[in-house]
Amino acid sequence: MTVKSVSLVIAGSGGAGVVTAGSLLLEAAAQAGWYALMSRSSGPQIRGGEAAAMLRFATEPVMSHDDSFHLLMAIDWENINRFSAEIPLVAESLIVGDPAHGDAPAALLSGKPRQAALPMVALAERIENGRPNMVALGAIAAMIGLPPEAMQAVVERNLKRKGQAAIDASMAAFHAGIAAAVDLPAIPKLPAVAAAANPRWSITGNEATGLGVIRGGVRFVAAYPITPATEVLEWLAPSLAKVGGMLVQAEDELASINQIIGASYGGVPAMTATSGPGLSLMIESLGLAVAAEVPLVVVDVMRVGPSTGIATKSEQSDLNIAVYGLHGDAPHVVVAANSVADCLFTTQWAVHLAEAMQVPTLVLTDQAMGQARAIVPKPAELAFIGQRLTAPAAVEGQRYKRYAVTASGVSPMAIPGTPGLTHTADGLEHNEFGTPSSQASDHQAQMDKRQRKISQFNYGDHWADIEDSEVGAGDTAIITWGSATGPAREALQRYSAAGGKARLLSLRLIAPVQPEKMAEALRGIERAVVVEQSHSGQFYRMLRAFYDLPAKTVSLHQGGPLPFGPQQILDQLNQLNAGSA
């Protein structure tokens, strides 16, 4: 492993405050100059259920969770079995539990981790208003090398409103934890880093998604709450208001998509965010946006499907509906973010694509990146701003053609309010004026133009992230997309560190497909592994349908909710090459 990192879980049931503890720890790590990734897992309860905060810290940007955790800090054991599959523990791992809550359940012990005790309840009781989770944080800080000053600053910031006594109680519990950690076995420690050296952001994928669309120019959002997309909306509502936009909570997803169609037809760039069930409801109207050529962005924060599935967990299984869900021949754009930070880039790019081509653009993210918080290098400024080709004024003696057949396929769009260019945008097939037509020639001309505008568009280098191991690409590739990219990146780093050569291809542009660019990217590649979190291998099948893949291409696919570990992908790489050697 090239990334020196430490991975830990804080788990506990209602009232234990593990999510709060995780957030404080992340903030403190940020304060200390580290990078981090935090995911959460929780039970089905609205409140008070068991929860786990999974964190990984490093001195370099963190792409993925590790294969296992160095530390499980269990504030109690309530129902912790539900997380056992999500918390891989090995012999080097350490479980720290509170003797007040008894022994660790057997389900956590299959990897034979080390065990130690920390009397969190007892230590907290000695401090007025002391809490066990702060004792836990103190112990964790000492064990991973987090300077206490970092936590001091964070606690002061977070508890300011509760007063100095609350701050003092928390820090007293924290220091009790530090003191008690002396007796605990060691786990890897990270070195301190000069925070100022690396400008960093703390952001979730869902926040980055919201910021991306605002940067791209979106000023109207209509949406219906759905897990795990709701945080996109919660971030956007107040943020849009600050930049002169608005968010409307619609009565359902059918209304969301149609409201944004209306707003965009009115000239205001618009988007909605949803998850699989909501996307299913929006599909008919996405076809309308294709036919009527209304630019818009729909973000699908994917969760486990089908149907209600597992609403709080991640899967990459909406690829098919995003690409093929629309009835008729309906050319549209599908892009996918491949990391927490990339949610910003990809959604901003999506607005640019949607506006430039007057086409609905779907963005696929997922629960894993959407609800994860990461400390990432400060994202670059991007030049993409949605720019729509508008028809500025009427031409004397010429009737306006809303759907003029042009070389680019993009027709200048008249925004309501423009004199002399009135027309009716229509979901019925139409001629160049927008008049409904059942003529074969009109259908052909309009289909050609709608296809042409997205086929001919210059997507530049953004269609995929292409990364080679330090010593070159070799003849082996990992082809992946979305949040499977994180562990794939780390697998590539490890493979490279062990002297291997490989190329990572993470597709950001899912549709339209880019066979020429792919052929170029795969030149010299003889073996490939396709990695995706889908039970049926949707991505692999799509690649097979549209691209010339190396003769030896294997599919590594699994349904959610468990994420890939880097080692899983590395094993596949090694196996691929062992088989060919």
Partner 1 sequence: MESCAQKKTYKAKDYKSELKPIWCPGCGDYTVLNSITRALAELGLPPEEVAVVSGIGCSSRIPAYTSVYGFHGVHGRALPVATGLKLARPDLTVLVTGGDGDGFSIGGNHFLHACRRNVDLTYIVMDNQVYGMTKGQASPTTAPDWEGSKLTPDGTGINPFQPLVVGLASGANFIARVSASDPINMAKIIVEAIQHPGFSLVQVLSPCVTFRPEQQEWRDIVRTAVVDYTDDAARAARRLMTDDGFNVGKVLYKGSRPPFRPEFEHTDGSVAELEARFAL
Q: Which two tokens stand for residue 142?
A: 């000492």
Q: Which stretch binds partner 1 (CB under 8 A): 80-88, 92-100, 424-432, 481-489?
A: 424-432
Asked whether 391 and 412 are in contact (CB, 8 A), the reply is yes
Separation of alpha carbons 458 and 462, rounded Å: 10
Of 71, 375, 525, 542, which one interacts with partner 1 (CB under 8 A)?
A: 375
Q: Which two tokens stand for residue 277?
A: 């069930």
Of 266, 306, 515, 579, which one interacts with partner 1 (CB under 8 A)?
A: 266
Asked whether 461 and 489 are in contact (CB, 8 A), the reply is no
Of 5, 7, 31, 339, which one interacts with partner 1 (CB under 8 A)?
A: 31
Asked whether 118 and 135 are in contact (CB, 8 A), the reply is yes
Please report whether residue 348 would count as binding partner 1 according to CB under 8 A: no
Closest CA relative to residue 37, chosen from 312, 270, 372: 372
Q: Which two tokens stand for residue 366?
A: 């997922």
373 burial (CB, 10 Å; 0-12 / 13-18 / 19+) is: buried
Please report whether residue 426 would count as binding partner 1 according to CB under 8 A: yes
Of 117, 201, 281, 382, which one interacts with partner 1 (CB under 8 A)?
A: 201
Q: Which stretch binds partner 1 (CB under 8 A): 62-70, 120-128, 258-266, 321-329?
A: 258-266
Q: Which two tokens stand for residue 44?
A: 């089905």
Q: Which two tokens stand for residue 519?
A: 């052929």
Q: Which two tokens stand for residue 270?
A: 């618009």
Of 121, 195, 405, 554, which one interacts with partner 1 (CB under 8 A)?
A: 195
Q: What are phi and psi of 426, to 5 degrees?
A: -140, 140
Q: Which stretch binds partner 1 (CB under 8 A): 118-126, 169-177, 235-243, 454-462?
A: 235-243
Asked whether 446 and 430 are in contact (CB, 8 A), the reply is yes
Site string for partner 1, 35-64 (x = CB under 8 A): ------------------------------
Q: Is the dihedral of CA 403, 406, 409, 411 positive or negative?
A: negative
Site string for partner 1, 154-193 (x = CB under 8 A): ----------------------------------------
Of 73, 87, 260, 502, which one interacts with partner 1 (CB under 8 A)?
A: 260
Please report whether residue 267 would count as binding partner 1 according to CB under 8 A: yes
Cβ neighbours around 486 below 10 Å, total: 27
Minimum gap (Å) between residue 244 Cβ and partner 1: 4
The secondary structure element, H or E, covering residue 323 is: helix 319-324
Peptide bond between residue 512 and the one before it cis (omega within 30 degrees of 0): yes
Asked whether 86 and 111 are in contact (CB, 8 A), the reply is no
- Which lies closer to partner 1 via its Cβ, residue 245 or residue 500? 245
Please report whether residue 259 would count as binding partner 1 according to CB under 8 A: yes
Separation of alpha carbons 289 and 342, rounded Å: 26
Of 139, 250, 297, 351, which one interacts with partner 1 (CB under 8 A)?
A: 250
Rg (CA), the chain: 26
| Residue in the structure block whose two tokens are 């701050």 | 167
Q: How many residues sit in the footprint of partner 1 (CB under 8 A)?
A: 67
Helices 485-497, 566-580: axis angle to 10 degrees equals: 60
- Which lies closer to partner 1 via its Cβ, residue 264 or residue 346? 264
Minimum gap (Å) between residue 425 Cβ and partner 1: 5
Separation of alpha carbons 410 and 275, rounded Å: 30
Please report whether residue 207 would count as binding partner 1 according to CB under 8 A: yes
Query: Bridge partners of 248?
Result: 222
Relative to beta strand 220-223, strand 246-249 is parallel
Of 422, 439, 456, 536, which one interacts with partner 1 (CB under 8 A)?
A: 422
Minimum gap (Å) between residue 337 Cβ and partner 1: 16
Of 133, 258, 485, 577, which one interacts with partner 1 (CB under 8 A)?
A: 258
Please report whether residue 436 would count as binding partner 1 according to CB under 8 A: yes
Minimum gap (Å) between residue 38 Cβ and partner 1: 14
CA distances for 354 relative to 47, 218, 348, 362, angstroms:
39, 11, 10, 9
Of 70, 175, 200, 352, which one interacts with partner 1 (CB under 8 A)?
A: 200
Of 222, 323, 334, 576, which one interacts with partner 1 (CB under 8 A)?
A: 222
Separation of alpha carbons 3 and 136, rounded Å: 25
- Which lies closer to partner 1 via its Cβ, residue 267 or residue 559? 267
Minimum gap (Å) between residue 30 Cβ and partner 1: 5
Of 185, 420, 472, 524, which one interacts with partner 1 (CB under 8 A)?
A: 420
Q: Which stretch binds partner 1 (CB under 8 A): 67-75, 123-131, 247-255, 361-369?
A: 247-255
Minimum gap (Å) between residue 442 Cβ and partner 1: 15
Interaction site with partner 1 (CB under 8 A): 30-31, 195, 199-203, 207, 211, 214-215, 219-220, 222, 239, 241-248, 250-252, 254-268, 270, 284-285, 287-288, 292, 375, 378, 414, 416-428, 434-436
